[in-house]
Amino acid sequence: MLFHSKPSPALVLAFLAALAAPSAGQEKIKLESGKVVSGRATAYDAEKEVLSFRTDEGQDMKYPLDQLDSRSVYLVYASVMPKDNAKGQLQLANFARDAGLYEHAARRYGYAEQADPALKTEVESARVELRRRAADYCIANARTSQSKGDAKEAQKWLAIVLERLPDSPQAAEAASMVEEGYAREANARDDALEQEHEALLQKDLKKGKQHYDSMIERTRQGLTARNASKSASLWKSAIDDGEVVLKEIERLEKKFADDPKVQSGAARYRQLTIDQLVEIHLHLASQYTTSSSLKNALKEANAALALDPKNGQALAARARIEQASNEGLIHW
């Protein structure tokens, strides 16, 4: 999404003042063509809307803003905007919000309020609009994913609304959409395994299957509870279920150590269970972050990474939590 209007005069003035500082910092910008350029901003012509940029190779380039993607335009401004420039941060937050960069906008509103508490009313008004747009964006992405048959992607967007924007009007719609499809999509992941190992599920893995189904259902109930305490309780119970499943899988592997088919099925069930446990820990981490319990949030993110050290969502969640802790800000 590109910006549909010129940067506000206040933001441009703050930007130009910041460029006069001794260092603007190294940054990467991305052109609409997809090319990425590394270096730093050196000047900005507000009338022509042209950014002067010195590359790492020492080349002085000029880029009209309409040649940059929206994130790069924002990053250029952000790289030179002092955190204690309250008005500048507020304008930058609005700039990011209008570009659909909601996480960045939320953080900048926090900077603005920290720099000048007198802006609290104005910032909160802007945050209300941010939440509305972010919720609409998530719901739209969920609908698009559903129309493409990608239920897992749809559930991801719906979870964001339910966990981070629980008081938004869109949360009721998100809960309804989760009710309709979460359990069906989650259970569909092991349909092939159920058919392949029906005998084991009826006998040796019966207990594990019961707890697996319970884990899925409690995860769904936690998402739709609309009450933080109840959600957390359900998700913790779901984690307990998942741990029972993993123990049952370990027992099965030992019992059928010489059966390659069982070993293969057990490995697949373990991965499904781990994936679900990672999801639950991240639901808890998100909820704790929203309620300012950053220590607990970090604990849940680390628990997810202990199960899957290379999980991109868990790594990103931990980075956000650590940043919020260091800055003393809760973005939403």
For residue 61, the model assigns a pLDDT of 92
User: Percent of the chain having pLDDT more than 90?
Assistant: 46
pLDDT at 3 over 50: no
Reported as a single tens digit per residue, the pLDDT across 28-44 is: 788 888 898 888 877 76
End-to-end, the C-alpha distance of the chain in Å comes to: 22
For the chain, what is the mean pLDDT? 85
Domain at 189-324: CATH code: 1.25.40
| Chain CA centroid to CA 4, Å | 25
Reported as a single tens digit per residue, the pLDDT across 91-145 is: 889 888 888 889 889 999 999 999 999 999 999 999 999 999 999 999 999 999 9
Q: What is the mean pLDDT of residues 74-78?
A: 77
For the chain, count helices (H), then strands (E).
Answer: 14, 4
Reported as a single tens digit per residue, the pLDDT across 300-320 is: 999 999 999 999 999 999 998
CA–CA gap between residue 230 and residue 237 (Å, rounded): 11
Q: Which residue has the tokens 């999404």?
A: 1
CA–CA gap between residue 145 and residue 139 (Å, rounded): 10
The domain limits of the chain are 9-115, 189-324
9-115 is classed CATH 2.30.30:
yes
